[in-house]
Amino acid sequence: MNSLIIKRVMDEANYMKETKKTIREIAKVFGVSKSTVHKDLHERLTTIDHKLFIEIDSILKYHIDIRHIRGGQSTKKKYKKYV
């Protein structure tokens, strides 16, 4: 694996660990697509640092658990503009 990819994966993982931000937010910060961030954190991180992968995986599972709440909040915010 290319050293630049390994650096990006580690930077993304450490950033997520520190900030607990979502994949979309991380993609904006690093200037890559959300698909790339997802692949980095799910596939590539496993081979680079498995211990860190376990921590990141728990954060990602938490985001999946609360996504319906965030969706409801954003819909409420969207329609509040029209009232």
Domain ranges, ordered by start, for the chain: 3-76
pLDDT tier at 16 (50, 70, 90 boundaries)? very high
State pLDDT tens for residues 31-77: 999 999 999 999 999 999 999 999 999 999 999 998 888 888 888 88
pLDDT at residue number 9: 97
pLDDT at residue number 69: 84
Helix, strand, coil percentages in the chain from 3-state DSSP, rounded to 5: 85, 0, 15
pLDDT at residue number 8: 97
| CA pair distance 70, 77, nearest whole angstrom | 10
| CA pair distance 31, 68, nearest whole angstrom | 26
Q: Both tokens of residue 26?
A: 């991380």
pLDDT at residue number 83: 73
Contact status, residue 8 vs residue 16, Cβ threshold 8 Å: no
